[in-house]
Amino acid sequence: MSFFRVRTERLHQLQKLRPQFAEVYDFYGRLYSFLETEEGDWFSCRPDLQNWADRCQAGFPLLNGEALCIDEVPARGFLGRLIRQLAELGHEGQGDLDALHQALDDGSLNVGSLLKACLDRDRWAIVQASEKAEAQPAVLEFILSTTLSHFLQQGLSERFTPSSEGWQQGYCPVCGGVPVMAELSGEEGGKVLHCATCLTHWDATRLQCSYCGNEDTASLEYFTVEGETGYRVNICRKCSCYLKVIDTRELGEGLPMDVEDISTVHLDMLAQREGFTRGKRQAAV
């Protein structure tokens, strides 16, 4: 089954399971239909594969902004089409989308450097560009992260298969993103972390906070929600972060974790209401 087919079929299943979120699932289903038609030969990565083992050992992810090669003119074309698509799909943020489209048209939005900033988590650069365009930073961040994820997801699996064996960090060995979902799988229920940006996954210690490394079981807990079999939320009282977990021994293997993430916003809301936040990258990379 194709990449997008897997995702749209899962969204259809979830729509039946949680009809109260039908609008969110419909939004992503239509966004996937748009992205499926976008090839992106203007986007490529040239990571430092030669020194990958050393970089991995030192806790540096494979990719950073420098590794991205972006052809500015077609990149602007893509962003313009994405913004128009979002304007058609959305009910909010129309003014911000118009402002960003205007900034693209007048050449004041440098797409290449902003995508690099997005990969490097240089939020300041994105906030500055948003202010200049008179748009909310969250809207520009969504556009940039959607673009980055789409092209990394399409390109990485074929171009690189970096080994993440021995990677002990709580962020992605390829793009440096924080894991958005963990999966418990296999007979022993081993923990695997999933990056939603580039879809890399890597093994992690089960009884340990993936963000701060805390192993004190007294401050590591989890909660479940009635009727949501196979889902739980791990919380760490030391760093006040949470991580959504899927038990694939109950739900079956091969679920697209990026879709599981966007379709479990209610779990995010419950954790955030209790004062927990999504994990952050701890190491200074």
Residues within the interface to Zn ion (CB under 5 A): 172, 174-175, 177, 195, 197-198, 200, 209, 211-212, 214, 236, 238-239
Residue with Cβ nearer Zn ion (59 or 77): 59
Residue with Cβ nearer Zn ion (126 or 236): 236
Q: What are phi and psi of 232, to 5 degrees?
A: -150, 170
Residue with Cβ nearer Zn ion (31 or 236): 236
Q: Shortest approach of Zn ion to residue 73 CB, angstroms? A: 27
Write the burial class of residue 213 (CB in 10 Å: 0-12 exposed, 13-18 middle, 19+ buried): middle
Residue with Cβ nearer Zn ion (89 or 212): 212
The span from the CA of 35 to the CA of 4, in Å, is: 9
Residue with Cβ nearer Zn ion (92 or 158): 158
The span from the CA of 245 to the CA of 179, in Å, is: 11
Helix (H) or strand (E) holding 262: helix 257-262
Q: Shortest approach of Zn ion to residue 173 CB, angstroms? A: 8
Contacts of 19 (CB under 8 A, 6+ apart): none
Q: Shortest approach of Zn ion to residue 236 CB, angstroms? A: 3
Residue with Cβ nearer Zn ion (210 or 264): 210
Q: Shortest approach of Zn ion to residue 8 CB, angstroms? A: 22
Q: Shortest approach of Zn ion to residue 21 CB, angstroms? A: 25
Helix (H) or strand (E) holding 7: helix 3-17
Q: Shortest approach of Zn ion to residue 187 CB, angstroms? A: 27
For residues 49 and 160, is the Cβ–Cβ distance under 8 A?
yes
Nearest to 223 by CA among 281, 279, 170, 274: 274
The span from the CA of 132 to the CA of 144, in Å, is: 16
